[in-house]
Structure 1
Amino acid sequence: MRGFFLGLLLMPALLAGTAAAQKFDALSDGAKKAILDDYLAQADAPYPDLCKGEIKRMRRIADRMGTREFDGRIRELEKSLPQSDESLYIKMRLLKREMMLSGIGFDKILCVDTPYPEGAEGVHEGRIKTENTASFGGKICIVDIPSFSTDKTLFPSEPDSAAIGRAELSFDAKEIVFSARQKGSSNYSLYRMAIDGGAPKRLTNGAYNDSDPAWLPDGGFVFTTSRSNHFLRCGGNEFRLQVLARCDGDGKNIYFISTNNESDSMPCVLDDGRILYCRWEYVDKNIFRLQSLWTINPDGTNSQVFWGNQSHWPDVPTCAMQIPETDMYLFQSSSHHNAYRSGLGILRPSEGMNYPDGIYNLTPHLGWAEAGVGPKDTPYNADFGMSKNFSAFYTPRPVGRHLYLVSGRMRGVHAIKTSAYSPEDRLGLEGSLANRARNVPEDYSSLYLADYDGNLELIYKGERNIHFAQPLRPRLVPRKIENVTIWPGDKAEDNAVAPEGVLYSANVYENSLIEPGSAKYIRVIEHCAPTYADGKKDSTREWLDVMKALGVDPDLPFISADPSLCKYFLSGETTMSVLLDESHKRILGEAPIESDGSVHIKVPSMRAIYFQLLDKDRKVIQTMRSSTHVMGGEMRGCLGCHATQNASAPPRKPAAALRKPPAKLENRFGDRTFGFARTIQPILDKHCVRCHNSAAGHKISLESKKLIDASDFSVAYLNLVLGGLERGKKQNPHSGYAGAIFPYHAYPNPNVEICTEESVIPPMTVLSGRSRLVSMLEKGHQDAKPSTREMDLLKAWIDLNCPFRGEEDILEEPDIDEKLYYSNERLYKGLSFAPKMRTAPDVDRSFRQDKFDSQDSRMPHAPDGAPMPSIRYEGDKRITAIK
């Protein structure tokens, strides 16, 4: 630890380095023209205004540099005011350039020169690293700043032979690790190579994509990978999503360190050894906005929200990195449907963990990308002077206390769109050409040296986009966090179980609105990743047809605070719910809560879990709308329900639960996943349908028949969840009988300053604790008298947010015919494998993944080589096979 803090003290000296100054007059004519053209393109006001602003900014640069070296030249230029013209503006820009580039401490930069991804929705945040959006023509270069030119190309040796993702320099600046898909290879893999030359060494292989690598202090790598074999719930199976994993320096011993069911991106190792990354997830929330920053240790322990897990703004905060010598973090705010439509921002989590606290917009003229302009945005700098002609930025990287490198592009003649999500965004049209990412010269981004005052100096212009730029110099090795995870190795046999972890809370009531003493049980739910997809991509059409049959205009009665989104909406492929694009869930069990509010429980490792607090009748008081996990052997605590503080005061006396061994979860439902037809309809048939049927003329039919042939949704399911919709009748979140969460509704919360769809839902607002159906049956409804077991099943189904299908239903569906699948060339051409339903693989993220290099390798096979089911159910018991 002492060495770590000594390293922090020495950091400024380590980063200072030496650098040759760039002399404008010595540059080539082409370089001079590029720089001067860029100055004119940045000009976004009359020259008198521009020149006045440049004088002020140059003086601020001199102040922060602590030098008076440039004062005389600044005064000489100022004498020309108020008369100003293009010539004076250029002179001022050239002097400012000299000031910006003086003493930066490096003269060479590692970067990636790359085209944009291609293909259907190729610039979507979940598609840019997929094998069939790969755009060949990328290269990894070393740029020489003094000459404004390429020093050398490291990779590939043959032009236009590789699609390249992220490249990252080692701490000693002697090697790089990068992701690439070479021609002749099916997918993105990890490589490492020496800076001074030599052939790259391929670290990973197979039909999965490995991307976004970063060096770990122990010599290994953190990266993102699609080895989880799961697909995007709100898109199609062409979205091969990637989550965090780690491996040794030779690419061996691959283990997942994330249980996310959507995607992780852009991991960065902080000085204290934690990994900071962007995570997209939605547990009973809307599909669009919940991208937030998280931290995790390199061994997968201590997964924590860093900032924004209940925030609508910004859109996708990613590529976040520490600003040296500060408690601030620079990030890019990308667009969900176009990762290259990005602004910039700064976070200071010590000031708050959700919008509008602790966040500052560095590019206010761009809003927050697809999320639009927020209701309470704060610019970082009141004197900020960035040109409003910049339309997008990408991969910012701090290079000191005051400077950063960033890729930027101009808007040209096009207006910049700052409004929120619209149908144009969904189609990838982005509303304006300034926001689009196309492989044409005018849309490519160049490399800038920037500061937090809005000054940007062009330092390199490549053949295409210049991304992932970083100084070619050594940097501080972060603190090495010791491993505490029990790594179980390969999964040796069917149904093998990895070591458990332990979770505890000293007080589940802390930081909540829950009445102390009211919660009697904690329920643990697994939110399972969809390793299946039907390949039909029809959920949107199914949803629209159902709305039409119900006589409901989907554009009117369900509008939320954001007028472009509905209170429920489907856009995915495998339809699991009418409320949102969903995967199956499983109740892992329950445990009692002590009288002081403490809990201490064992939970399975590497499962995406969330919690519910139940009252004495096992009705939900509060539900968590995010997931977490524990590693094997990990023991971790948490704050009260839905805490958003960075720290919590220690309990005044030892918690009762912690004076006992950790409790084992009581599993009352087995492994079942609560499909409606399998679990709920038999109860309705037994107690309700004799009255609630169409033949009897009852308005609320609870029959099992389909509403329309084009959809599997039953009349009973739709009536319970949506509440007997009628033409022209407006709906509110409590119209349904079941009590479901409407993920696109902003539930009012007195503890939240700006309520959005992502905010915490107050206790006793939704699910079984607020269910009209449960209340009606408890009070007595006609002669319907469900048993205690039946009521438990009803409440549990409601508390999983009313799923229509479960995993058991998926396993009864046939796999799509691969010939039919690949006939859809627009979406599926170039993908490494077709998705499965009946034979969907079981992916246990606890175990080592080295032997799994494809979907096929995860499935058992018949003697003739045909894939066999990996998962089957015997009653309520789930059984898996790996060979």
Structure 2
Amino acid sequence: MGKVSKFFYRVTVIIIVTGIFLSTQTFTTLSASIDFTKPEFAFDKIVFTKHQPYSFPGIENHMIDGSFGFNAVKGGGLYILNNAFSGNPTVTDVLANSICTNGRYAGKKLTGGAFYSFDLSYDAKQIVFSYTDAQNSYGVWNQNTTYHIFKVNVDGTKLTQLTDGAYNDFDPRWLPDGRIIFISERRGGYGRCHQRIVPTFNLHTMNADGSDIRCISYHETNEWSPSVDNNGMIIYTRWDYVDRGANHAHSAWITNPDGLDARAVTLNYPNSGPSWWTNLPLTQMQLRAIPNSNKYVGTAAPHHAQNYGALIVIDPDVEDDDNLSTITKITPDAKYPESETGTTTDQKYATPYPLSEDYFLCVYDPNANTNGGNKRYGIYAIDTKGNKSLLYSDPNFSCYGPMPLRPRKVPNIIPGTAKPTGQAQDGVVSVMNVYNSLLPLPSGTKIKELRIWQVYPKTTTMATDPMISYESTESIWAGRNTRGLLGSVPVESDGSASFYLPPGRAVFFQAVDQDGTAVQTMKSDTFLVPGQTKLYCQGCHEPGRQAAVNPESVPLALRREPSKIAPDPSQGARPVSFPRLIQPILDKKCISCHNGSQVPDLRKGTTDAQTKWFSSYKNLKPYVALIDAMYPGADWNKVYPRTEPGKFGARASRLYNKLKTGHGTLTQSELHSFIVWLDSGIAPFFGDYKNVDAQLRGEQVEPSLN
């Protein structure tokens, strides 16, 4: 070999070896985009986890799936980035020498599994985080396939297991009083629009040692990523789609650390014109309060993918127009995935941590849209002008959740409710004025009472088990809540109401007029937590930012003892069961004519093999006002989100408007049963997810899970 050839050979070897070395090492690239002399960057250490988005062929890709431990990609860990803005940082593995002190992992290291979300204590001395053994047995829930919560000192000492079991426990955050809030599947129940096992997970709290676990949310669908805002309140994400489309109700909610008075912050009833389900963030995830501000930063993620997307800032001080008035995108290079893009692409960003209104930490992958499942999110500093600087990246594994390693100001400690020692007492719900509504009630309407409906958590895993109501035939993914009418309470002449409500039940209210029909209804739920004594409502769908007006006098309902809910006398109203509530009336009053010789045929007929519905129920569909068919372009998944007073339920149905003229010579009690069925929102067939055979026989059943 000649000298020239030897020279090129050596150069080639050096290049290849150098390439191999670089491809197996962590690296950092520092640009001049961000000015690190700004006071926002007056720290030099960042805590983060390495957490890889899953990419398994044939596995569902949905906003809920990233929180299941059996989907986790093995590897990663809990780390500290030292000299973060120097251009030459180093990485410390917090758990390199940590041995668990208790529980099932006592005497062991956390190795071989996967890490997820975490939080740093306010004094910057402890980290609480979620970990799973990541046994990749899809659809299997056991202690090896689920996330559990641990805590450890920042120096790696005193690794302690806080939760265990066949539940996913994740998204832990420190509360100002030293307790921990987190998300858990422990309450029970399943998602309503899945053809697989998808447990519901909600807000829970516990002591710092893992004791006294309490469910603080009785919402019937999933919740995510709580954090504490500057006022000591909990900001979190709630999937809220009672009688609405499933895809477009994953918005910011706020509650206190005990779960009292949960309220939407913004965009819970999105309405962007004729296509009200497009061009808006589908989900508002990973919310955190911006220091010295009332604003929040979060990730605008898709519905049918994991929780990565564009970054947004929410300003709750701006009037909510049910569109984009409160939301500003701070990453101009990323569209809202799935809504703006039409696909789940543009999942470039996630886990923003606010340093100010201008600067943030986050994770970012510039190639997220093109590299398929080989995503590699690095840690970046960004600003609101589109500038960004890479601080750290591992070519072999993604980073997640960067957070400054420094003490933080402790927010207000909001006094908690007393934990009941026995059966929790009923609390009092007070409504100031039901006529206070964003959209006006029909002229001349007099509200006489409120109906109290309970929505029941789903207790079967498949959306079609059973098929609850009419929209179930539109898609195998369609799913509505079963529900029961707890009863009604009076409304005073000034529009006020006050009544006792049992805790631990997700309910919604309806304003009912002098004719006994619902005029206004909630498309959401509310609840009291055990120990809560009061819940106040200003109106019924009143403007969201409207300040309460000091009344000239105390509302009439507040001058008396709160009402007790009067149970509805209709047989089959709790839960609402067509075979028990409606079919007996059809048999008694209707089938003498509607027996096949007149349309519709209202005989019970043959039970359908797929739906198990009676023929009479199927034949009544054209005469019912369905929430998923009232507007052009709507379907079970794209339901207009806001109630228009007087334009739903019995009032809007052909059936009621025929019956109220005297057709069928129904008694007032029988007509009321039809009103209850139609006003329920979905005119269901089944009232419970189980006990199907008993319901078909017209028997009274009790909900499987309250």
TM-score by shorter chain over 0.5: yes
Match of 1:786 in 2: 666
Shift of 1:769: 2.0
| CA distance in structure 2 between the partners assigned to 1:660 and 1:712 by the alignment | 47
Label 1:811 to 1:29 Cα distance change in 2 as closer, same or farther (>3 A): closer
Q: Structure 2 vs 1, CA of residues 151 and 533 (structure 1 numbering), >3 Å: closer, same or farther? A: closer
Tell me the residue number matched to 2:163. 204
Match of 2:419 in 1: 487
1:746-825 superposed matches below 5 A: 757-781=639-663, 784-808=664-688, 810-812=690-692
Q: Give me the whole-angstrom Cα distance separating, in 2, the residues matched to 1:690 and 1:264.
A: 50
Tell me the alpha carbon deviations over residues 113-153 of structure 1, each in whole angstroms, 9 at most, x when there is no partner. 01223555554112221233232213111112233331224
Identify the match of residue 402 of structure 2 among 452, 455, 469.
469
Aligned to 1:163: 114
Do the aligned partners of residues 203 and 316 (structure 1) sit closer, same or farther apart at CA in structure 2, a change above 3 Å counting?
same
Kept in 2, the 8 Å contact 1:398–1:405? The answer is yes
- With 707-716 and 789-798 compared, the bigger mean Cα shift is at 707-716
1:553-564 matches, within 5 Å, as none
- TM-score (structure 1 length as normaliser): 0.68
Measured in 2, the distance between the counterparts of 1:451 and 1:881 equals: 47
Q: How does 1:625-644 map to 2 (within 5 A)?
A: 625-631=523-529, 632-644=531-543
- How many Å apart are 1:451 and its aligned residue? 0.8
Q: In the alignment, residue 125 of structure 2 is paired with which amino acid?
A: K
Q: Does the aligned pair in 2 maintain the 1:216–1:222 contact within 8 Å?
A: yes
What CA distance in whole angstroms lies between the structure 2 residues aligned with 1:31 and 1:534?
44
Q: Which residue of 2 aligns with 1:107?
A: 44
One of 305, 323, 333 as aligned partner of 1:338: 305
Please give the secondary structure, in 2, of the residue aligned with 1:128: helix
- What is the Cα deviation at residue 706 of structure 1? 4.8
Contact 1:167 1:468 in 2 (8 A): yes
Instruction: Please show how residues 515-526 of structure 1 align to structure 2 within 5 Å.
Output: 515=443, 518-526=446-454
Larger helix share, 1 or 2: 1
1:142 aligns with 80
1:458 match: secondary structure? strand
Shift in alpha-carbon separation, 1:279–1:411, aligned structure 2, 3 A:
same
Residues 166/639 of structure 1: CA separation in 2 closer, same or farther (3 Å cut): same
Tell me what 1:510 maps to.
436
Change in Cα spacing, 1:881 to 1:322, as seen in structure 2 (3 Å) is closer
Cα distance in 2 for partners of 1:208, 1:813 equals 31
Distance 1:135 1:571 in 2: 30
Q: Is the 8 A contact 1:236 1:537 kept in 2?
A: no
Report deviation, 1:367.
2.8
Match of 2:293 in 1: 326
Q: Secondary structure at the match of 2:41?
A: coil
Residue-by-residue CA offset, 1:806-841 (whole Å, 9 max, x unaligned): 345622469xxxxxxxxxxxxxxxxxxxxxxx9xxx
Conserved in 2, the CA contact under 8 Å of 1:448 and 1:460? Answer: yes
* Contact 1:511–1:641 under 8 Å retained in 2: yes
Deviations 1:553-612 (A, max 9, x none): xxxxxxxxxxxxxxxx4343xxxxxxx412311111111111111111111112111110
Answer with 280-289 or 506-515: which moved more.
Answer: 506-515
Contact 2:361 2:379 in 1 (8 A): yes
Correspondence 1:169-188 to 2 at 5 A: 169-182=120-133, 185-188=144-147
Residue pair 1:390, 1:408 contacting (<8 A) in 2 also? no
Give 2:562's aligned residue: 662
The 1:189/1:122 distance shift into structure 2, 3 A limit, reads farther
- Of 579, 604, 612, 1:704 maps to 604
Gaps of 5+ in 1: 1-27, 37-92, 375-388, 417-432, 491-496, 547-568, 573-579, 724-736, 749-755, 815-837, 839-872
CA contact (8 A) 2:122 2:408 kept: yes
Question: Any gaps of 5 or more consecutive residues in structure 2?
Answer: 1-20, 99-108, 135-142, 271-276
Query: Structure 1 vs Structure 2: percent identity of aligned residues?
Result: 26
Which residue number corresponds to residue 475 of structure 2? 570
Partner Cα separation in structure 1 for residue 458 and residue 256 of structure 2: 25
Residue in structure 2 matched with residue 269 of structure 1 by the alignment: 228
Contact 2:285 2:307 in 1 (8 A): no
Q: Once superposed, what is the RMSD of the aligned Cα atoms? A: 3.2
Equivalent AA in structure 1 for residue 626 of structure 2: A
Evaluate the alpha carbon distance shift between residue 758 and residue 257 of structure 1 in structure 2; reply closer, same or farther with a 3 A threshold: farther
Contact 1:768 1:774 (C-alpha < 8 Å) held by counterparts: yes
Which residue is 1:306 aligned to?
265
Cα distance between partner residues in 2 of 1:404 and 1:31? 28
SS of the counterpart of 1:775? Answer: helix
Q: 1:446: how far off?
A: 1.0
1:679 correspondence with 2:581: yes
C-alpha deviation, 1:788, in angstroms: 2.4
> Within 5 A, what are the aligned runs for 1:214-613?
214-311=173-270, 312=277, 313-353=280-320, 354-372=322-340, 391-411=347-367, 433=370, 438=373, 440=374, 443-462=375-394, 463-483=396-416, 485-489=417-421, 497-512=423-438, 513-514=440-441, 515=443, 518-533=446-461, 569-572=474-477, 580-613=478-511
2:614 corresponds in structure 1 to 714
Q: Write the letter of the residue equivalent to 1:465.
A: S
- 1:796, distance to aligned residue in structure 2 (A): 0.9
Shift of 1:324: 1.6
Supply the AA of the counterpart residue of 1:358.
T
SS of residue matched to 2:447: coil
1:463-504 Cα deviation digits (max 9, x unpaired): 311111101111011100011x242247xxxxxx52111111
Deviations 1:440-481 (A, max 9, x none): 2xx221110111111110001023111111011110111000
1:70-107 superposed Cα distances (whole Å, 9 cap, x missing partner): xxxxxxxxxxxxxxxxxxxxxxx844456568871111
CA contact (8 A) 1:394 1:406 kept: yes
CA change 1:103–1:298 in 2 (3 A) is closer
Contact 2:300 2:309 in 1 (8 A): yes
